[in-house]
Structure 1
Amino acid sequence: MSWTISTAIQTLEQLPEQPLITTLANSALLGFDTETTGIDTDSDAICSATLVCKFPDTSWQDYGVLPWIINPHQPIDPRASAVNGFTDEYLQTHGREPEQALDEIATVITLAQRKHIPLLAYNAPFDVAMIEHNLERWGLPTIQQRLEQTSDMLLVVDPLVLDRAISHRSGKRTLSATTYYYGVVPHGDFHDATADTIAAVELIEPMARLFPQISNLTLEQLMTWQRNAHEQQQESYMQWAARNGKRAWRSNWL
């Protein structure tokens, strides 16, 4: 169901803090996805974003959904426009000013983090870097800076890292391919921030059902487990590239 920013803030403020021994299968989750003017996290801007709050044992109709359309104040790359459907004219006419919209997004994420509700994003480094750099661009405190006030660390779930670690399948690992593999039915079209966010959030249930290592993963183990999984994936990729004479570079997770 659609939330207003005041409903989201009030709901999160009233929630008890999730214990860090909570398993991923039983955790509340705050899904996040962005549509952007391009793929450069240093220079491109968010033009659409959605946060989706999922509480345990709720169906998608009961998720708290917060969407934003944002005027990026820069042209959208035609390749990005072809994917997400936004045009410069539409964003200039319908988009909100970035200072207020980005601050609202960061406020909700920070409140959830203080309750130990993980931020879930498919290929999380992209969306996290994008929101942090956009906040910096407009002179706003980053999420990490807001969390440092309470000594909290960013808690993130990345279904892409989880899937690569557990499924050992061949083929593409786009969000659409991964949801198809796990039998998740999308609610809307892919490359729409809201539809993508709901689909990514709904991946956790079948992953946890099929793989005990995901079901039993606790919030306090979450970041270390994913960092280790990503590092193993990178090592395997580098070895494959060396064997096949391919140029490769090592990427970082969070």
Structure 2
Amino acid sequence: MITVPPFPAWLTRVGVFDLETTGVDVTRDRIVTAHIGVLDVHGREIAARDWLADPGVPIPDGAAAVHGITTEHARAHGRPAGEVVTEVTHALRTLFAQGLPIVAYNASYDFSLLAHEAERHGIPVLTQPSPVIDPLVLDKAYDRFRRGKRTLAVVAEHYAVPLDDAHEAAADAIAAGRVALALAQEFTLPRSAAELHTQQIGWARDQAAGLTEYFIRIGRLDPDDSLDGTWPVRER
């Protein structure tokens, strides 16, 4: 007989958050698109908002090839970056104030980049977002020895979560939320989102340390270098 873990009551409604950007450097790259939504316990999106920003800098061809937004399109149709950063930060604060956990895949990327964008535009930074649910951290912690990549597309497929438009902010955000719900069905999560948030801080640190050792071993990192495992907002 298969035993199904008890589903945490705090997962009956979750926020979802994703950014598409000009690159992968959280300190220098800029927001291009953003999505924030709310999913119910069945993974249906019951509220949502999207943003398109003019990042104020050219969008590299490589980034445009990933998310489909060119510099010309962003300049013609995007809103000023400062307005977008203000509204995204406010929307997240509002959901946290309502007690909703926010799901973000590889959360330290999105929340760190948003923090640097806020500083850039003189907007109060969301310095300690909580509670955050990061399916990447959870999947690595609960299914540690599974082989293969841990990209959102791969992990979504593993948990039978559809992802038809990868690297589109809304599609990625919703898929991440549904992966979090699938993880809750597969594994026994803590009774509170706050407890899970605290656990992820340690897991993310340990995962970064393990990846650092691996990268040094294969020559991808110098022995004196290390990956930043602070979560959900990386150290400055």
Is 1:136 matched with 2:99?
Answer: no
The answer to which structure has the higher strand fraction is 2
The correspondence for 1:95, drawn from 64, 74, 78, is 78
The correspondence for 2:137, drawn from 156, 161, 168, is 161
Matches of 1:36 and 1:245, distance apart in 2: 28
Is 1:199 matched with 2:184?
Answer: no
Q: Which amino acid aligns with 2:28?
A: S
Matches of 1:84 and 1:112, distance apart in 2: 26
**Which residue of structure 1 aligns with residue 27 of structure 2?**
42
Could you tell me which runs of 5 or more consecutive residues in structure 2 were left unpaired when the two chains were aligned: 1-6, 232-236
Matches of 1:24 and 1:238, distance apart in 2: 36
Secondary structure (helix, strand or coil) at the match of 2:173 reads helix
Superposition misfits of 4+ residues, deviation over 4 angstroms: 238-246
Per-residue CA deviation, residues 147-193 of structure 1 (Å, 9 max, x unaligned), is 7xxxxx5321111000000112110100000000011012x410100
**Which residue of structure 1 aligns with residue 4 of structure 2?**
none
**Which residue of structure 1 aligns with residue 200 of structure 2?**
226
Matches of 1:209 and 1:176, distance apart in 2: 19
Matches of 1:47 and 1:230, distance apart in 2: 26
**RMSD (Å) for aligned C-alpha atoms:** 2.2
Q: CA deviation at 1:27?
A: 4.3
Q: CA deviation at 1:236?
A: 3.5
Matches of 2:80 and 2:219, distance apart in 1: 48
Q: CA deviation at 1:113?
A: 1.1
Checking the alignment, whether the CA contact within 8 Å between 2:10 and 2:193 is kept in structure 1 is no
Matches of 2:23 and 2:227, distance apart in 1: 22
The correspondence for 2:60, drawn from 53, 71, 77, is 77
Matches of 1:246 and 1:98, distance apart in 2: 34
Secondary structure (helix, strand or coil) at the match of 1:203 reads helix
Secondary structure (helix, strand or coil) at the match of 2:86 reads helix
Matches of 2:61 and 2:220, distance apart in 1: 30
How has the CA–CA distance of structure 1 residues 24 and 179 changed in structure 2, closer, same or farther, with 3 Å as cutoff?
farther
Could you tell me which runs of 5 or more consecutive residues in structure 1 were left unpaired when the two chains were aligned: 1-21, 148-152
TM-score by length of structure 1 reads 0.79
Checking the alignment, whether the CA contact within 8 Å between 2:141 and 2:203 is kept in structure 1 is yes
Matches of 2:116 and 2:213, distance apart in 1: 32
Q: CA deviation at 1:34?
A: 0.6
Matches of 1:180 and 1:143, distance apart in 2: 32
**Which residue of structure 2 aligns with residue 32 of structure 1?**
17
Report matched runs for 1:96-115 at 5 Å: 96-115=79-98
Q: CA deviation at 1:241?
A: 5.3
Secondary structure (helix, strand or coil) at the match of 2:122 reads coil
The count of residues paired between Structure 1 and Structure 2 equals 221
How has the CA–CA distance of structure 1 residues 91 and 201 changed in structure 2, closer, same or farther, with 3 Å as cutoff?
same
